[in-house]
Amino acid sequence: MNDFLEISKEQEIAETKRFFVRVYGWMSMALIITGLVAYRTATSPEIINFIFGERFVFYGLLILELVLVGVLVGAIQKMSAMTATIVFVLYSILNGVTLSAIFFVFTADSISNVFFITAGTFAAMSAYGYFTKKDLTKLGSILIMALMGLIIASVVNIFLNSEMLYWISSYAGVLIFVGLIAYDTQKLKKLNVIGNEGTDEDKKEAIIGALTLYLDFINLFLYLLRIFGKRR
C-alpha cells in the first residue's frame, strides 16, 4: 500500500512538472510573438501611422485585447483546445502591436536590459511559488485587492497627472506583480488536474496558466520599465 502511494505521488510530481513545462512553453511562445510583433510594428512607418495616427484605432485595439482575454478566461470551457490556442496567439499579437509604443518612449538598450531583469525576477519568484511549502492564498488575496487599488489610482492619475502618484504606483506595481508571480504559480500547481494529461482539458489548463503568467510578466516588465527605462 505504501509503495502504491509512493508511486502515485511520484507520478503526480512528474505530471505536474510536465504540465509546467507546457505552461512555460506557451508563455515563452507568446512573449516571443509579442516581442517580434512589437519590434516589427515600431519599425514600420505605415503601421505606426495607421495605429497611432487615429486614436480610435489604438483604443479599439486595446478594447479588443480586453475582449479576447475576457472570452478566453470566461468561455474557455466551451472552446476546443485549438480555438483557445488561436485566441491566445491572437491576443499576444495584438498586445505586441500596442506595446510597440514603448520603442518611442524608451531606448532600445534600456528595453532590452529591463526585459532581462524582468526575466530573472520572474524565474526566481515563479520558482519560489512552485517549491515553497508556505500557503500563499492569504498573500494572493491581499495582492489582488492591492491590484484593484493600483488600477483605480492609475485611472485617477490620468486626470491628476501627479508625478508623485506616478512613481508610487510604479513601485507598488513592481511589488504587487512580483508577489502575484509566486502566488499564481502556486495556484496553478494546485489547480492542475492530475490524470487528464494529453486531453483537450489539459491543453486548455496549460493555456490559461500561460496567459496568467504571461500577464504577470508583461505587467512587471512595464512597471520596471517605468522605473529603470531610459527615456528618449
In this predicted model, what pLDDT tens digit does every residue of 116-169 receive, in sequence order? 999 999 999 999 999 999 999 999 999 999 999 999 999 999 899 999 999 999
* The model's pTM: 0.93
Query: Which DSSP helix (H) or strand (E) runs through 35?
Result: helix 2-42
pLDDT of the residue at 194: 77
Number of H helices, E strands in the chain: 9, 0
Q: Please, what's the b/e burial string for 2-39 (b: 16 or more CB within 10 A of its CB; e: otherwise)? A: eeeeeeeeeeeeebbeebbebbbebbebbbebbeebbb
pLDDT of the residue at 60: 92
d(CA 50, CA 55): 10
The answer to whether residues 51 and 97 touch, using CB atoms and an 8 Å cutoff, is: yes
Q: Which of 212, 207, 216 is nearest to 23 (CA)?
A: 207
Higher pLDDT, 186 or 2: 186
pLDDT at residue 212 tops 50: yes
d(CA 175, CA 177): 6
**pLDDT tens across 97-126, in order?**
999 999 999 999 999 999 999 999 999 999
pLDDT of the residue at 55: 82
Strand partners, 231: 106
d(CA 55, CA 190): 42
**pLDDT tens across 2-22, in order?**
544 454 778 888 899 999 999
pLDDT of the residue at 195: 77
